Structure 1
Amino acid sequence: MARKRFITSEMSSDEKLAEIAMEHPTAALMWPWFITGFDDWGRMEASPIKIKLNIFPAFPFAPDDISQAIDLFAETGLVHKYEVDGKYYLAIDPDKYYKYQTYIRASKREVDTSNYPAPKDAPWMDSNDDLHAGARSCAEERENARICIPSPSPSPSPSPSPSIAAAIYTEPGVLQEEEQQQSDDTEQKPDTACSYYCQNINPMPSQREYQVLNSMTDTYGFDDSDKEKIVILALQEAIDFGAKSKLRYAESIVQAWHKQSVKTFVQAEGLLRQWREQKQRGHPQSKQGSRPSSKFINFTQRSRDFNDIEKKIMQNRLSQPAKTAEELMEERRRQKEIVGG
């Protein structure tokens, strides 16, 4: 059983899990725990008794319930059930598995040291001869300047959201051909807001960051051809400004552009230029590092000779005649009467 596995809230809207929930709600609720049973290559033994002991020791699930859940997972396509040497095993499509389990490095994925045999008739083999060609971690995508696929809510959910499904993984052969066409030392600029965010701000975005990035690109009505560039422009401004929360600052910029009916990258760039010019006109002294003029700061300070004031006080005290002992005692008595009065 794995020490850790990532799961996603997208399971709540997954169509295949919804089908299972309609037929067997308990089986659908078992799925997040099943994910922890798969090894680093997305495989596990389909033994109801072992699964009961390793995954559900504290749950009142019988082996028959687990066996029924396995069959439903296989029928709906969540997993692939196969037999090797008289034993049954389960496997998840590597593209979907590594897409979410991003902390498993590529070097480990490529060297198959799994304790469970690989399937020979898996449905994903028809379109991909290499089981491990596909999903790359954000670190790899950052190094190769490719599309960055963050792990907002990692889990091998078979029905990813449209924004995730739109991302295309680069196969090794295609990657080599494209690199030959590019110059050897030229780094390709990121073409998505996600890839720019991974490369320049946070290589491992959280679920909330991922949702905010998707919202910035998809919900403000920008042109499809320019929406990624517009969000990247906002992120660049957040970095240049030195905002503590760069994503929140960029989101406020995007919202301001939306209120001004910005649709294209040229419009956003023009507004940003105007904002910068207004800031410079509003704070003309900011370039020299001095503070803006204010009547509460730049007031005229009166000059006083404190040494002269001190001398006058001392002279006044010396010019007064010394009090006698009777006068001092009378003065103290009056003070006591006032205090006790």
Structure 2
Amino acid sequence: MQKSIRFFLALALFGGIAAGLAAGGGKEDKNSGGVSKNLVVYSNTSEDFMSQLIPAFESKYGVKVEVISASGGELMNRLTAEKDNPIADVLIGGGKSLLQNSKDLFEPYHSPEAAFIEEVAQDPDNYFTGFEFTTHVLLVNRNVVGNIKIESYADLLQPQLAKKVVFGNAAKSNSAFSHLGQILDGFAIAEGKRYESDSGWSYVEKLLKHGIMLESSGNIHKSVADGEYGVALTWEAPSVTYMKDGAKHLEIVYPRECLYFAPSTVQIVKGGANPQNARLFVDFVISEEMQGAMGTTTSSRPVRKNAALASYFKPYSDIERIVGKNHMDYPEEWIIQNTKRIQAQFNDLMTRVLQ
């Protein structure tokens, strides 16, 4: 009799658990993970890459991904407002230097795939995982400038290029600020120093007088591609897109003075509803499969060591011959500590020169 009672109690308990799972609709237990088939991703990265990444992830893991795309600032405002009840599970885009002061919004995670990415793309504290490199280049329209030699920032001050060089506002634009960092560090390196020098600031003053400042980062590369100007201080991804599309009149120049490969990062949102799927997503983004696809079919440069690159990318070995090993020596901590001061100094200089 007691055996029968125990059997029916066990059966009732099992039935209750099954009913509970059915009623719960497969929602994930934040502690155990693994049940949910959903993931919410906030994205501030290229649609080119995301259009491949999301379908591949959904197909491999059977997870339905909702992507919400916006500017980095807007997404950070949302994450801050939603801190006590997060909507997102993952933020893809941005970087440690931009997100360092908000890392309380994120959950540390060390992916087993991180061992295969470049060291500069890794975070010792595991809050930020690099997935693509962003580097800042010169986009040259040869139909506008002809055969003028352009290999460096210094070459942009040639008299023939007056008012044909366009750049952004380094006090507002991340892309323009990255160029400013490369310029200041490049001129310092030439003097046997690092990060900043008076000669670098002197060059910036001359460039402000010599070139044209535009407010929109997107308009900068487009205006050169369309032939309105001759040289753009822009970033690699849109420049490579023109190459992919067969633009024979354009040339990408990697400036000799200095070139940073700054990692854009993916991070797990603290308190998100689907932490297990978020970890799977981070693993997948830097997997051999997706990093290979990134380097051979998109305009984004992968961070995984020895990842294949399409012919429209300049190989790292060629870049190293141009700028030396400084192209991987991204001074992230120095940038984090000095961004506000550098932006303020640039703003003062710009106001004085352009008023």
The higher radius of gyration belongs to: 1
- TM > 0.5: no
TM-score (norm 2): 0.25
TM-score (norm 1): 0.26
